[in-house]
C-alpha cells in the first residue's frame, strides 16, 4: 500500500482562556476543544524521491511550503529517518479557512497519521504529538480529537470524558480573522481571561448542561459587530448557546435537537458565506 485517504475532522473551542505570553512570543492557553463531523479528506501517496507535492481543490489554499501539510510531511519523514522519501498530498476542502475551525491543522494531523501507517512506523499518539506541536498549535489535539483540555500552546492534552452529543450549526461571515491580530487585540486591550475551562470540565463531569460555561477570550478581544449579530441570530433560532470558535470568524450554535438545528440552517442559509449543520464527535 502506497496511498491512503483519511477524514480530517474540524474542531470548535468550547472555552478559550488566554493565560499568558511565553518567552518566544506565543500565548499560553487553556482551552477545551471538541471535534465535529465537518471534515476535509486528505490523501497521501508515497514517492521514491524527496519531493513533497500538494494539490488542493480550493484555489485559496497554498500548495507550497506555506501549507502546514508540507511542514507536517517534512518533519515526519525527517523524524523517522526517511528524508529521502516524498509524498503527493491531495486535499479535498470542506472546512473554511480563517474560521477558527482548525482546517489546516486537521489536514496536517491527517498527514501525520497516514504517513505513520504507510511507512509502518507504529509511532504512538504521544510521539505523533511531539512532531505535531512543531507544525501548529491545534495539530496535537487533532491527532486523536474527541473532547480534551489543551494547555500551553496546545501540546499538553488531557482527554475529557464527555459522552453528550450536540447538534451544531456553524455560521461564518464573509470575512476571516487573522489569528495574530486577534491575539494582538487581546494584548492591546489588556484583557483578563474569564478562565472558564475548569468550570466547564466540572460541569461535564457532573452531568450538568454546559451552555453557561462556554467562553472565548478572543471573541471578547475581537468584539466584531457582525459576530455579535450572528450569535444573537443563533439564539433567536433557539440555540442553547452560541460562541465564536478559536480566533474566528466562525460562530457556532449548540442545539438540543437536530430538528431545531436544521430549521436554523434553513433560516440562515444564503445570508452568510458558510452555514453548515453538524454534530460533535
The C-alpha cell of 109 is what? 494531523
Give the residue among 239, 185, 178 at the shortest CA–CA distance from 230.
239
Contact 147, 34 (CB under 8 A): yes
Q: In the annotation, is 11 catalytic?
A: yes
Q: Please pick, among 17, 40, 107, 138, the residue that the annotation labels catalytic.
A: 138
The C-alpha cell of 39 is what? 471534515
Task: Please report, for residues 14, 134, 171, 206, 212, the alpha-carbon distance to residue 19 in angstroms, rounded to integers and kept in the order given.
Answer: 16, 20, 27, 25, 21
Q: How many residues does the chain have?
A: 281
User: Rounded to an integer, what distance in angstroms lies between the CA atom of residue 145 and that of residue 271?
Assistant: 31
DSSP string, 34-68: EEEEEEEEEEEEEESSS-EEEEES-TTS--STTSH
User: Rounded to an integer, what distance in angstroms lies between the CA atom of residue 248 and that of residue 220?
Assistant: 11
Helix and strand totals (H; E) in the chain: 9, 11
Helix (H) or strand (E) holding 104: helix 103-118
The C-alpha cell of 3 is what? 496511498
Q: Would you call the peptide bond into 249 cis, given omega within 30 degrees of 0 as the criterion?
A: yes
Q: In the annotation, is 138 catalytic?
A: yes
User: Rounded to an integer, what distance in angstroms lies between the CA atom of residue 85 and that of residue 87?
Assistant: 7
The C-alpha cell of 80 is what? 523517522
Strand partners, 56: 91
- Residues with a known catalytic role: 11, 138
Amino acid at each position: 500500500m502506497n496511498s491512503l485517504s483519511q477524514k480530517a475532522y474540524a474542531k470548535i473551542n468550547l472555552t478559550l482562556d488566554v493565560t499568558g505570553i511565553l518567552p518566544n512570543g506565543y500565548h499560553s492557553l487553556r482551552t477545551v476543544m471538541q471535534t465535529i463531523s465537518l471534515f476535509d479528506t486528505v490523501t497521501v501517496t508515497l514517492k521514491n524521491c524527496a519531493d513533497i507535492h500538494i494539490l488542493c481543490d480550493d484555489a485559496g489554499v497554498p500548495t507550497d511550503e506555506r501549507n502546514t501539510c508540507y511542514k507536517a510531511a517534512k518533519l515526519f519523514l525527517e523524524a523517522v529517518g526517511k528524508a529521502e522519501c516524498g509524498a503527493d498530498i491531495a486535499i479535498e476542502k470542506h472546512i473554511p479557512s480563517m474560521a477558527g475551525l482548525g482546517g489546516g491543522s486537521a489536514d496536517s494531523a491527517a498527514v501525520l497519521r497516514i504517513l505513520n501507517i504507510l511507512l509502518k512506523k507504529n509511532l504512538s499518539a504521544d510521539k505523533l504529538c511531539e512532531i505535531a506541536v512543531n507544525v501548529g498549535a491545534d495539530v496535537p489535539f487533532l491527532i486523536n480529537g474527541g473532547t480534551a483540555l489543551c494547555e500551553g500552546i496546545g501540546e499538553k492534552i488531557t482527554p475529557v470524558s464527555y459522552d453528550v452529543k450536540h447538534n451544531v450549526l456553524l455560521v461564518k461571515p464573509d470575512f476571516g480573522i487573522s489569528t495574530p491580530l486577534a491575539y494582538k487585540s487581546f494584548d492591546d486591550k489588556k484583557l483578563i481571561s474569564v478562565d472558564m475551562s475548569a468550570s466547564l470540565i466540572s460541569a461535564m463531569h457532573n452531568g450538568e448542561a454546559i451552555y453557561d460555561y462556554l467562553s472565548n477570550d478572543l471573541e471578547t478581544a475581537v468584539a466584531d459587530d457582525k459576530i455579535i449579530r450572528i450569535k444573537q441570530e443563533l439564539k433567536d433560532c433557539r440555540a442553547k448557546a452560541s460562541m465564536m470558535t478559536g480566533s474566528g470568524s466562525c460562530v457556532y450554535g449548540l442545539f438540543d435537537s437536530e430538528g431545531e438545528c436544521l430549521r436554523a440552517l434553513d433560516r440562515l442559509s444564503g445570508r452568510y458565506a458558510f452555514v453548515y449543520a453538524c454534530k460533535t464527535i
